[in-house]
Amino acid sequence: MMTPTGRRKLLSSLFVAFCAGAVLLALIPLALILFFVVSRGILSLNLAFFTHMPTPVGEAGGGMANSIVGTLMLSGLAALMAVPIGVISGIYMSEYAGSRFAAAVRFAADTLNGVPSIVIGLFAYVVAVLPFQQFSAFAGGFALGLMMIPIIARTTEELLLLVPGTMREGALALGATRARAVFSVVLPAALPGIVTGAVLALARIAGETAPLLFTAFNNRFFSTSLRQPISSLTVQVYTYATGPYEDWHRQAWAGALVLVSIVLICSLLARLATRRLERMHARG
């Protein structure tokens, strides 16, 4: 027979084991995904993948040069739109943190962040495709930009709030206007962190597929025109993955490897950067 205390201790140990097991359980799919993406992707990943166009069906080889350029362009467009809007609304939220309107903006940012990506795609279609009767790189960049705005805004806000209030007060006491204090003192202090956040947001946006399906659409040909449909790594991987050909599947895995590498490299860089920032703050 077990004593009540014994039973409680056993239950406690079982619980600890369950929690550790949960961690291991979550690591399994991560390890499996990384394993398959790397081992299968590496087979088709070569220089030609980055420099060549897709070959016609049935012909082996070829690459995804047009999709890679497309993803770069779409992410660039998104950043061009989202960074100014995100940073300035972030400044507003942190400078007037206590006000009701700032709370409303914060709520809107969180809401926008939670809007399903496919719904963002629908909205961008109605606003940026329908009036011109034309799928375009511009519409795709607009859709991705919409997704990027709330991430940039919230990151900027959080990082600005971390800047010691004494720095702002110092600038104001020297007679600086609010704008001067923010743009010359507070914002530069938070800039490394904001750049890190923007890089992470960019990595996330580059991996989006759903908002591009009916905005940027896809393009078999090399295009850098903003007014034409454009290919992207994600949409191309989707096309290849759901297609019937062995060769397409190989290309899809290679595309996935590139996508995962982008994410991995950005996260690692961001982590190193945050570490350095933390150390600087600790010292300073």
Partner 1 sequence: MPKSRSRSDTAFRIGTGAFGFLLIALVAGIGIVLAIESMASIQKFGLNFWRTEIWDPVAGEFGALPFIWGTLYSSVLALLIATPIALGIAIFISELCPAALRQPLVFVTELLAAIPSIVYGLWGIFVMVPAVRVLETSLPDAMRKLPLFSGPPLGLGMLSAALILAIMVIPFISSISREVLKSVPPAQREGAYALGATRFEAIRAAVFYARTGIIGAVMLGFGRALGETMAVTMVIGNNPKVALSLFAPQYTMAAVVANEFAEAADKLYLSALVEIGLVLFIITLIINSFSRLLIWSMARTETVTAEPIDAEAAA
Q: Identify residues 120-149 at the interface with partner 1 (CB under 8 A).
A: 120-123, 125-127, 146, 149
Which residue type occupies 247?
A: D
In the complex, minimum distance from the CB of residue 19 to partner 1, in angstroms, rounded to a whole number: 4
Size of the site for partner 1 (CB under 8 A): 86
Q: Which of 85, 167, 189, 273 binds partner 1 (CB under 8 A)?
A: 85
**158, 267, 273, 277: which one binds partner 1 (CB under 8 A):** 267
Report d(CA 35, CA 38) in Å as an integer.
5
Is the Cβ of residue 20 or residue 280 nearer to partner 1 in the bound state? 20
Contact 210, 176 (CB under 8 A): no
Annotate each residue in 47-76 with x if it binds partner 1 (CB under 8 A) or - if it does not, as one string: ------------------------------
> Cα torsion for 72, 75, 76, 79, to the nearest 10°?
-160
Sign of the Cα pseudo-torsion (64, 67, 73, 76, in order): negative
Spatial CA neighbour of 258 closest among 37, 91, 89 = 37
Tokens representing 76 are: 């660039």
Regarding 282 and contact with partner 1 (CB under 8 A), the answer is no
* HEC letters along 42-60: HHHCCHHHHHCCECCCCCC
217 binds partner 1 (CB under 8 A): yes
CB closer to partner 1 out of 63 and 121: 121
Task: For the CB of residue 83, give the shortest distance to partner 1 in the complex, in Å.
Answer: 12
Q: Is 105 in the site for partner 1 (CB under 8 A)?
A: yes
A 10 A CB-CB count for 99 gives 12
Q: Is 253 in the site for partner 1 (CB under 8 A)?
A: yes
Binding range to partner 1, per CB under 8 A, among 53-61, 73-81, 186-194, 246-254: 246-254
Question: Given the complex with partner 1, which of 56 and 114 has the nearer CB atom?
Answer: 114
Among the residue ranges 52-60, 61-69, 89-97, 188-196, the one whose residues contact partner 1 (CB under 8 A):
89-97
- Is 184 one of the binding residues for partner 1 (CB under 8 A)? no
Cβ of residue 165: shortest distance to partner 1, in angstroms?
17
Residue 282 C-beta: closest distance to partner 1, Å:
15
- Report, in Å, the least distance between residue 228 CB and partner 1: 16
Which of 154-185 are b and which e, b meaning 16 or more Cβ less than 10 Å from the residue's Cβ? bbbbbbbeebeeeebeebeeeebeeeebbeeb
Task: Determine the Cα–Cα distance for residues 132 and 152; give it in Å rounded to an integer.
Answer: 29
What DSSP element (H or E) covers 90? helix 65-95
Residue type present at position 82:
A
Does 95 engage in binding with partner 1 (CB under 8 A)? yes
